[in-house]
Structure formats: C-alpha cells, structure tokens
Structure 1
Amino acid sequence: MTVTTAPAGTWFITPGHAPDRFTTAHTCGADVALVDLEDSVPAAAKPTARAAARRFFTTSAMAGSTLGVRISSPATLDGVHDLTTLTAFPVKPQIVLIPKVESPRDFDIVAGILDTPDYTPLLYALIETPRAVQTLPSIVRADRIAGVLFGTADYAAAIASTMEWGPMLYARSALVTSAAAAGIPAIDSPFFDLDDLDGLRRETEQAKALGFAGKSCVHPRQLSTVAKVFRPTDEEIAAARTIVEAAETAGGRIIRIGHQMIGPPMVAAARSLLTRASMPHEVHA
C-alpha cells in the first residue's frame, strides 16, 4: 500500500526494538507513525529491531496513521541491512525516512533497492548536519524526495550549540525556504523536554509561523499540543472562507477585505488552510 501525497501535521516515532509500544504508535492518532531503526536503537539491538519492525506494518494498522520507518544512513552497513530487510516485508512502509542526508545520492541508493513496479514509498530526508544545510538546494531537487525533516539534536551537536530556538533559527529558515521552493513539506524537529508542554506549544507555534507543515513528537502526550497548534482555528477558517468567497466573485482581481489588500498568494493560502481544516484530526493522549 503506497500513499501518493506527502503527509504533514503530527509525526510520532517509536523504537523498533520495543514492539510492546507498537500498539500505542498505531492508535495514538498521529498523522504519521514511524518505527525507528536508527538512533533510538542501541547497536546490539538493531537485528532485533529489524525483525520486530516487520510486525509494525500490518494491513489493519495501515487503516489508521500513515506508517513509515526511519532507517540508518544508507551509507552505513546498518543502513544496507535495514534496506535489504525491508524488501522482504509482506506489508511495506508507506514512508521511508533517510537520516544524515547530505546528497541526492542517498535517494538513489534507497530507491534503487526498494522501488519496484508495485512499490514506490515516499522518501523523506532528515536534515541534521551543517553540510546538509549547505547543500539543501540540491537535496530538495532529488527525483524521489517527498519532504524534509529537521533534526535539532545532531545539528546542535555538530555546531556545538544548544537546541534553543535562536541557535537553530538559521537552519530552520534555510530548510523551510528550500522545501517551499521545491514544493515539498518541511516537518520540524521534536521537542525533547517531555514535561514542558508550555515550551512545546511555544516552539510549535514558532515552527508553524516560520513555515513548517508539522512537527515530530517523541511521546504520545505531546501529540495533542502539536495537533492543536497546526489545526486551523475557527477564526482562521472563517477568515479563509471570507477570502475565498470574495475572490470567487472578483473574477481574479485583487480584492480588499477590511484594511487588507488580498492578492492571489493570499487566496491560495486561504484555500490551502480550508483543505487542511477539512481533514479529520483525532489524537489520543
């Protein structure tokens, strides 16, 4: 089963060597649920995680969230093992998240191993190194790219900074700009303080304002906060409807609503918001 559009909104990731958590991932209501074979899995547990991940993808589970997997870098032996294991799964992931992407070559490797006439998963790039930020214009033009995610933990470690909003702003801005230029969604990094829901809300609001289409979560309790931020408010929906209705009667001319001049880009943004608002949202804490 393959999805044909790039999901945004809430993303949730669970470690592959802990299959007792799979049901939570399937039922938490995230827009995208990923099983992880990379950073959250200790080296000694990676073979166990590969074997267990097979059970993450079932026909019944596919009826809920869009399901995917984060593999290890395809430039590593673990990544090669991950990819060859995925080819034997009876039900395959809809999304494959590729970490440590620094070149379009990573997409060629993954697609070359996984793609078949009946299966072409959505490939997302995890951008988490300074070199990746420098080469974003070429990465986002990869033939098989469906979207990008930002990884603050590795990026902050690479530049010897904290993960606060300020030090990460340049990389985030570069990411959303490159993604927008390529017409693909950008998903923000997780917020790692599980007990600071106010901090999570503030960072999520900043990410949305900057242009991110969603945010990753590392615990189910974070999902409702992130979903509420990215879900259009009643006021935003009403304003968007006013813009669209006025535009439809204006015959393509620039219109004025209140004190604001409304041109085609604002109309397109209003239509996009109404589309997002029409999608079902159900998150279970």
Structure 2
Amino acid sequence: MTSTSRPPGRAWIITPGLHQHRFVSAQRSGAAVAVVDIEDSVALPDKQTARTASEAFFALTDPPCTLGIRINSLTTVEGFKDLIALAAYTARADLIVVPKVESPRDVELVAAALDADGYTPGIWALIESPRAFDILPAIMHAPRLGGVVFGSADYAASVRCGLDWDALHYARSALVNAATAANIPAIDAPTSEEIARARAIVTAADASGGTVTAVDGQMCGTPFFEAARAIIADADRMP
C-alpha cells in the first residue's frame, strides 16, 4: 500500500487499539479514514498489548476506507517502540498519524523507519503545540508529509485557553494558511454550530435558486454555497 493509493477525505473516525471488537464497525462507519489509536486512548502499562492487537486492524481484505494508526510521540520511548512494531507488521497501515510534531525531523524519522520497497505510507502530523506553530512552514515542507491534523484539545491546554472558535481562531487560521501554501490537506472537524450554519446556507441557496441571498443578515453567494455543501458532505459521512 502506498501513500497515493487512496487519498484521505475529511471525515475521520478513531478507535482505541485495545478494543478489537470495534475494529470492523469503525472501518464500516462510513468515514473516509479509520484510525486505530495507541497513543492517548491507551494507558502506559497497556501500550505493548495495543501495539500487538492493532495489527489486526489492517488485516481486513479490501477495506472500505483508508486505514491509519496514531502512534506515540517520537519524544518518548513508546514512540520508537511503535515504529519498530509497525515495521514488523505483515498487514500495514495506509497512513501514520504522528502526534506532537514540532520538527520536520519527526516526519523524516517515520519515513526512515517504515518506508520500504512497494510501501510508503502517508505520514500525517498532529499540530498541537505553540512550538509547532512557530515553525509551521518548515514542518509543512517536509518531503514525506501527507497532511496535518489540528490537535485542538492539546493546543488549548498548552496555551491555557478555551476550546471555543474565538479562542482557537488564530491557530486554525495559521494552520490552514500554512497547509494551503504548501499544497497539503489540513483536517479539523467542524463544530455542531458550523454544521448547522452550513445547512442553513444550503437551504437558503436552494430556495433562491442558487442566486445571492442573505443568511442571518449576511450576504451569501456561490463561494459560500460551495463551502457549506462541502462541510455538510463531510459531516454526513461522519458516524
């Protein structure tokens, strides 16, 4: 499996690596990407068990979506144990989600450990610290980087702010700008309020026959309609 075999979409689902009984349902949930997690959802004493169990997540024949794994941070021993285990997997992940990335070197280490003849997994970076935002352009231009995910909860904890839109507006804007400049995708799931507004915009667009209209006092035209439909399409694929 190579990183170009099945491009990831915006609707992702994550399931803990210890819960094998959930593997198939996660993969068949309708999400574009199903990720098995051996980082935050697994306590330290259970890490090795999760590593071993998670190989079964990739053994399904002809899975209906892209399959990934979130490993532990490469600033920890557990992260390097993860890479050693993944390199020995017979059934392999389509993509690797690397948490707490703060340097392009993190991406290079994963590629060096896992790339092999006929196998180059997509490598996605979780951006979730102020230090990462300080060097976003360098991270974004790591040659093997496939995309980025905003780790809003960890970022908010590190800067001691809320999880509401206004509190995280700078970080989200900076991430999207840097990713767009580097021509790589960025993932950040919409809030329930954003989904509701998108549905209101699409409803207004349909009622107006696609012409410029107003939603809550704001004029909306074709760019707004297209963006709203994209949000709804992603939200409707989520479990």
Task: Please indicate, yes or no, whether the TM-score normalized by the shorter chain is above 0.5.
Answer: yes
Q: 2 CA distance for matches of 1:135 and 1:157?
A: 19
Q: 2 CA distance for matches of 1:132 and 1:205?
A: 31
Q: Equivalent pairs: percent with the same residue?
A: 43
Give the letter for the 1:202 counterpart: E
Q: Kindly tell me: are residues 123 and 130 of structure 1, through their superposed partners in 2, closer, same or farther at Cα, counting changes over 3 Å?
A: same
Q: 1 CA distance for matches of 2:235 and 2:192?
A: 18
Deviation at 1:273, TM superposition (A): 11
Give the letter for the 1:22 counterpart: F
- Counterpart secondary structure, 1:147: strand
Q: 1 CA distance for matches of 2:3 and 2:175?
A: 24
Contact 1:29 1:283 in 2 (8 A): yes
- Consecutive unaligned residues of structure 2, counting only runs of 5 or more, are 211-220
Structure 1 match to 2:58? 57
CA displacement 1:174-215 (0-9 Å, x = unmatched): 0000000011111015x8xxxxxxxx4214578x9xxxxxxx
Structure 2 match to 1:35? 36
Structure 2 match to 1:136? 136
CA displacement 1:74-112 (0-9 Å, x = unmatched): 231101111110111111000100100010000111000
- Counterpart secondary structure, 1:17: coil
Q: Kindly tell me: are residues 152 and 204 of structure 1, through their superposed partners in 2, closer, same or farther at Cα, counting changes over 3 Å?
A: farther
Q: How does 1:43-192 map to 2 (within 5 A)?
A: 43-60=44-61, 62-188=62-188
Q: 1 CA distance for matches of 2:123 and 2:70?
A: 10
Runs of 4+ aligned residues of structure 1 deviating over 4 Å after TM superposition are 203-206, 279-285
CA displacement 1:5-46 (0-9 Å, x = unmatched): 541220111110111111221111110000001111111111
Contact 2:17 2:36 in 1 (8 A): yes
Q: 2 CA distance for matches of 1:284 and 1:171?
A: 24
Give the letter for the 1:169 counterpart: H
Q: 1 CA distance for matches of 2:148 and 2:238?
A: 25
Give the letter for the 1:79 counterpart: G
In the alignment, does 2:19 pair up with 1:18?
Answer: yes
Q: 2 CA distance for matches of 1:154 and 1:123?
A: 20
- Counterpart secondary structure, 1:87: helix
Q: 2 CA distance for matches of 1:165 and 1:281?
A: 18
After TM superposition, the score normalised by the length of structure 1 is 0.69
After TM superposition, the score normalised by the length of structure 2 is 0.82
- Consecutive unaligned residues of structure 1, counting only runs of 5 or more, are 192-199, 209-227, 240-259
Q: Which moved more, 1:103-112 or 1:18-27?
A: 18-27
Contact 1:6 1:147 in 2 (8 A): no
CA displacement 1:126-156 (0-9 Å, x = unmatched): 0000011111111000000111000111101
In the alignment, does 2:201 pair up with 1:201?
Answer: no
Instruction: Give the number of aligned pairs.
Output: 225
